[in-house]
Each structure stands twice: as structure tokens, then as C-alpha cells.
Amino acid sequence: MSYFAGPQTRFGLAVAAVACFLDQAFKVYLLFVFDLAANGPVRIGPFIDIILARNTGISYGLFQTQGPLGQWVLLAFKAVAVSLLWFWLARAKDRLTALSLGLVIGGAVGNAIDRLAYGWVADFVFFHISTPNWQFNWYVFNLADVAIVAGVIGLLYESLTADHAAKAP
């Protein structure tokens, strides 16, 4: 079986390439053209700032690692996950599955590129709400994370609405 043959596979890989490219382009712009580290946070709106957060862990800063061994373990885990997702993509029968898997793969590869290049993942979107009596700070995230979450939502939607979804009695 060829892992590039079917139209859904090619579509999913194209989505992955676009998601990864947009993520990396935005990160390169913020890190090296705008120089976010030197210029500091940028207020986009009352609830969103662009900041630089160096994430040495995985999603939402979990499992923070120090040193190269931890980084290589996370990269190996990511490589296995992307390989399994690609295998699933090669068997995708419909466009939503291919789109969703492409988003997850593209986001995972985008974050893996950061880990290889810098030893950490560049996160920069900071969502927050502050009132005089209450404050909510969401995790700092990037476009790769948005792609991964959107892909997972697509897969969940499909699993709940597809013909093979479990039906209520």
C-alpha cells in the first residue's frame, strides 16, 4: 500500500504542509523579523497578547523537560505519533478525516521543528480575561496548537456524526 496514493491522503498531506508552513512562517516572523524577545509583549486586543513563551514540555506546558535527553524523548514520542497518524491518513475514506488528520500532523510537525531548532517550542498567543475581582489566564499557545485542536475537534465531530457512530437506543 502506498502512503501517498489516495486522493484523501494527498489532500491530508497538503493540509499538513500548509498548517506547518503557516505555523513556521509566523514563528520565524515573530522570533527573527519582529524580534519578540527584544520588543516584548504586544497587546492585540483586550483579551489577547502576543508574548514569547519557551515551552520545553508538551501540550499546555505539561511534562516540562530540562536537557537534551528529555527533548529527544519528546521528539521520539512525536515521531511515533505522527507516523501512526500518517498510517491512519493513508486509510482515510472521507475528506473530513483527511483534513482533521492533516491539521494534527501539520501542527505536530511544526512544533517538532521548533524542538529540533531551538530545544523548545515557541508559543506566543496569550488569551486572558481580567476583572477587578477575577482573573483568567489561558495557556500560551501557537498556530500549531490551534491546528492540532481543530483537527481533534474534526475527528470528534466525525466520530459522533458518521454512519458508524454509536447511536442512542
The one catalytic residue among 23, 49, 94, 145: 145
Burial 113-140 (b: 16+ CB within 10 A, else e): bbbeeeebbbbbbbeeeeeeeeeeeeeb
Contacts of residue 67, Cβ cutoff 8 Å, sequence gap at least 6: none
Q: Judge whether 145 counts as a catalytic residue.
A: yes
User: Residues 6 or more apart from 110 whose CB is under 8 A from it?
Assistant: 19, 20, 23, 24, 27, 142, 143, 144, 147
Containing 104, the helix (H) or strand (E) segment is helix 95-118
Which of 23, 35, 94, 123 is catalytic? The answer is 123
Are 127 and 50 in contact, with CB atoms under 8 Å apart?
no
Distance CA 106, CA 109 (A): 5
Active site residue 114: no
Instruction: Output phi, psi for 136, to 5 deg.
Output: -130, 125
* Catalytic residue annotation: 123, 145
